[in-house]
Chains A and B, each alone.
Chain A
Amino acid sequence: GNSVTQMEGPVTLSEEAFLTINCTYTATGYPSLFWYVQYPGEGLQLLLKATKADDKGSNKGFEATYRKETTSFHLEKGSVQVSDSAVYFCALSDQGQAGTALIFGKGTTLSVSS
């Protein structure tokens, strides 16, 4: 079955540090890939997405590239801020499948200090 594996957290960084959160997936076919962010006590917000190989999703300084050869979708940011502190979820969904569940990784907690 489909699955997503994320690096274990928590990740603790100083402000302006470089961030990488690793995400790899197992899927049949050609899934769409997503990063969602969840701030404390809130729902999930879509951060970025990619729908085919070699696509790069980007938003608010975050980037991730859909790598089919390594089945990866690592999240990166060049300079994190305290306001980036949150839980980050990598997820996939099957293309062409109506109403399918998002398959989530376990989430990675990021804590940024000033």
Chain B
Amino acid sequence: DAMVIQNPRYQVTQFGKPVTLSCSQTLNHNVMYWYQQKSSQAPKLLFHYYDKDFNNEADTPDNFQSRRPNTSFCFLDIRSPGLGDAAMYLCATSRDAGLAGGPTYTQYFGPGTRLTVL
């Protein structure tokens, strides 16, 4: 089955120690997203890749970076995690028609990585 995979499912890191979360997809979608979801809150978009183009949300802290080495993989790097960065991190994908118009396709989510910062 085509799907969105996130690894690891649970990640524990120390305050200030860099951490990388991984997302892969077999859907061949051209857009990949990273959302942050804190406890009892709705997911909040951090950034997305449209093909190779990186698009940062205006209020995403500089502490968060992302890499997309190929269509299938996308990484979330947190350079110096703080206690406030403890959250569920959700990867999503979609296939968009592009700026020429057409419907925005559905976003499909992975199972998430729960990050704990000690």
B84 → A minimal CB distance (Å): 19
How many residue pairs link A and B with beta carbons under 8 A? The number is 71
Cβ contacts under 8 Å, B42 to chain A: 89, 104-107
For residue A87, which residue of chain B has the nearest CB? B40
Interface residues of chain A: helix, strand, loop or mixed (majority): loop
Among A77-107, those with CB < 8 Å from B are: 89, 93-102, 104-107
B49 → A minimal CB distance (Å): 8
State whether A98 touches B106 (Cβ < 8 A).
no
Interface size of B as a range: 20 to 34
Among B93-112, those with CB < 8 Å from A are: 94, 96-99, 101-104, 106-112
State whether B108 touches A46 (Cβ < 8 A).
yes
A102 CB contact (under 8 Å) in B41, B43, B96, B97: B43
Cβ contacts under 8 Å, A42 to chain B: 111-112
For residue B114, which residue of chain A has the nearest CB? A41
Among B77-99, those with CB < 8 Å from A are: 88, 90, 92, 94, 96-99
**A36 beta carbon closer than 8 Å to chain B:** yes
B90 CB contact (under 8 Å) in A41, A44, A51, A106: A44
Q: Number of contacting residues on A, CB 8 A?
A: 26
State whether B43 touches A104 (Cβ < 8 A).
yes
Cβ contacts under 8 Å, B109 to chain A: 36, 43-46
Among B28-47, those with CB < 8 Å from A are: 31, 33, 40-43, 45
**Given the contacts A43-B90, A101-B45, A94 and B6 also touching, CB distance less than 8 Å:** no
State whether A98 touches B97 (Cβ < 8 A).
yes
Cβ contacts under 8 Å, B97 to chain A: 96, 98
Among A23-41, those with CB < 8 Å from B are: 32, 34, 36, 41
**Given the contacts A89-B42, A98-B31, A104-B43, A34 and B106 also touching, CB distance less than 8 Å:** yes
Sample (14) of A-B pairs whose CB atoms are under 8 Å apart: A32-B104, A41-B114, A46-B107, A89-B42, A93-B104, A96-B102, A96-B103, A97-B104, A98-B96, A99-B49, A99-B94, A102-B45, A106-B41, A107-B41
Q: Which residues of A approach B to under 8 Å, CB–CB? A: 32, 34, 36, 41-46, 49, 51, 89, 93-102, 104-107
